């Protein structure tokens, strides 16, 4: 008998049958990059899912936002600063209010934090750990992911279609992994089902000191894009064999995704701000920033228990840009990071559903399959239970189990 986690997500199908919110005009067109006005700030936010498990993919997601000039606060922090040299050789500019990174833009995302009732679900953007509970189904995450891509001009049909649009660099590795060959055929929501959510997301409270009148036609924050990296166990192990430790693998993958987002959306913007959930207990990032951005000037704003913040100066073909980037403890409390968290969690859970369905389908008749989420203790239990099946299928553990 196959466990509940293996079955198609009934909560998604139930929601599809009950979402009847009316559409608004031109929702997808407004999300198209060709129709966006010049904005003062590009804001990028990242988070991961699957850093701790032994089985399944490591997923890193990033959201990219245009912040209207009316909603953007001055980026230069006040107060005195002192200089020095970080252990990586980067210049240190210790700024007393670097710990407030992201606060200037928080009001622009007020609409995303308000619950919206569509069908039988209450939809809002929050840290994925608060939204998703094991056994609770993926309907809320499914709806949020659907609405997000409609807002930035996409209309993915199913999971395979979505991955071609947001994880193209990893598509070949995913397709070559047998347990990810069937990712399910659940359709994403239609635009008329998500329009009420997007309309709520586009309403925000202007930042303090501004007189902006924010409306659905002129939102304070507009979602440009969502992209992801999906590292299979085989790819994870290949990188570790090349000398990466687990922490460096996460940091370089995340910052590489940031670099790609800047390349996709950074032309012509006055400021770039990047916000990341802190990578485990890692406190120092200037070395990996310099590695991913070898031509950048990297300054350390602060490296404290709560936040590590940096300023990078980039020369992008003669265009000099400043990038403020921080890695913050509980960074997923910032709404753009929370949306990245929800995407990363959704992608990983869908792929783990496929993983469990694959192995359940290859179990001997009469043997009960118990699904796994891939975390170390339960992963060891799965590997013991499935040992005979793994041998019979000729699966190399290097393609199945992470080495670290």
Ordered DSSP codes for 40-107: SEEEEEEEEE-SS-SBS-EEEEEEEEEEPTTTPPP-S--S--EEEE-TTSPEEEE-TTGGGTTGGGGG
Give percent of the chain with pLDDT exceeding 70.
Answer: 78
At 92, the pLDDT band (50, 70, 90 cuts) reads low
The pLDDT of residue 70? 63
The pLDDT of residue 97? 52
Residue 84: give the domain boundaries: 10-400
The pLDDT of residue 107? 87
The pLDDT of residue 194? 93
Is 330 a member of any domain? yes
- Averaged pLDDT, 321-325: 95
Least confident segment among 1-15, 125-139, 210-224: 1-15
How far, in whole angstroms, is CA 337 from its chain's centroid? Answer: 7
Is 1 a member of any domain? no
At 299, the pLDDT band (50, 70, 90 cuts) reads very high
The pLDDT of residue 37? 41
Residues 6+ apart with CB under 8 A from 384: none
Chain segment 339-391, per-residue pLDDT in tens: 999 999 999 999 999 999 999 999 999 899 999 999 999 999 999 999 999 99
Is 42 a member of any domain? yes
Is 312 a member of any domain? yes
Q: What are phi and psi of 24, to 5 degrees?
A: -110, 160
Q: What CATH number should be reported for the domain holding residue 376?
A: 3.30.420.10
Is 373 a member of any domain? yes
Instruction: Name the domain count of the chain.
Output: 1
Handedness of CA 376, 247, 181, 15 (dihedral sign): positive
Residues 6+ apart with CB under 8 A from 197: 21, 116, 118, 123, 143, 144, 147
Chain segment 10-57, per-residue pLDDT in tens: 444 444 444 443 334 333 333 334 333 445 799 999 999 999 999 999
Is 4 a member of any domain? no
Is 5 a member of any domain? no
Is 2 a member of any domain? no
Residue 168 tokens read as 């193209």
Chain segment 123-133, per-residue pLDDT in tens: 889 888 888 87
The pLDDT of residue 205? 52
- Averaged pLDDT, 287-302: 96
Query: Does 297 have pLDDT greater than 60?
Result: yes
At 104, the pLDDT band (50, 70, 90 cuts) reads confident
The pLDDT of residue 28? 35
Beta strand pairing status for 307-316 and 58-67? unpaired
End-to-end CA distance of the chain: give it in Å, rounded: 31
- Averaged pLDDT, 63-81: 63
């Amino acid at each position: 008998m196959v466990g509940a986690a293996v079955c198609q997500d009934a909560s998604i199908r139930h929601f599809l049958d009950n979402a009847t919110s009316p559409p608004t005009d031109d929702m997808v067109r407004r999300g198209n990059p060709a129709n966006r006005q010049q904005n003062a700030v590009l804001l990028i936010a990242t988070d991961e899912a699957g850093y701790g498990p032994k089985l399944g993919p490591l997923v890193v997601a990033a959201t990219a936002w245009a912040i209207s000039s009316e909603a953007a606060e001055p980026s230069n922090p006040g107060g005195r600063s002192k200089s020095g040299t970080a252990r990586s050789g980067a210049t240190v500019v210790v700024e007393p209010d670097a710990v407030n990174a992201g606060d200037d833009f928080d009001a622009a995302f007020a609409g995303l934090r308000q619950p919206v009732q569509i069908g039988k679900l209450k939809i809002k953007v929050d840290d994925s750990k608060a939204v998703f509970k094991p056994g609770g189904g993926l309907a809320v995450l499914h709806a949020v992911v659907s609405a997000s891509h409609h807002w930035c001009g996409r209309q993915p049909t199913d999971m395979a279609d979505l991955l071609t649009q947001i994880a193209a660099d990893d598509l070949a590795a995913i397709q070559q992994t047998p347990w990810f060959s069937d990712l399910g055929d659940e359709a994403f929501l239609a635009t008329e089902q998500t329009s009420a959510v997007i309309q709520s997301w586009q309403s925000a409270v202007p930042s303090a000191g501004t007189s902006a009148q924010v409306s659905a036609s002129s939102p304070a924050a507009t979602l440009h894009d969502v992209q992801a990296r999906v590292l299979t166990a085989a790819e994870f192990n290949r990188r570790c064999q090349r000398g990466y430790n687990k922490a460096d693998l996460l940091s370089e993958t995340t910052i590489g995704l940031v670099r790609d987002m800047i390349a996709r959306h950074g032309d012509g913007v006055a400021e770039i701000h990047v916000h990341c959930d802190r990578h485990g207990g890692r406190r120092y990032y200037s070395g990996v920033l310099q590695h991913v951005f070898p031509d950048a000037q990297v300054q350390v704003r602060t490296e404290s228990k709560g936040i590590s913040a940096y300023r990078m100066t980039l020369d992008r073909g003669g265009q000099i840009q400043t990038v403020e980037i921080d890695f913050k403890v509980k960074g997923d409390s910032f709404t753009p990071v929370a949306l990245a968290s929800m995407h990363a969690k959704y992608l990983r859970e869908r792929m783990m559903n496929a993983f469990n369905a694959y192995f359940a389908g290859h179990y001997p008749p009469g043997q009960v399959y118990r699904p796994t989420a891939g975390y170390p203790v339960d992963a060891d239990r799965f590997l013991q239970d499935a040992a005979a099946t793994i041998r019979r299928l000729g699966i190399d553990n290097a393609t199945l189990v992470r080495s670290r």
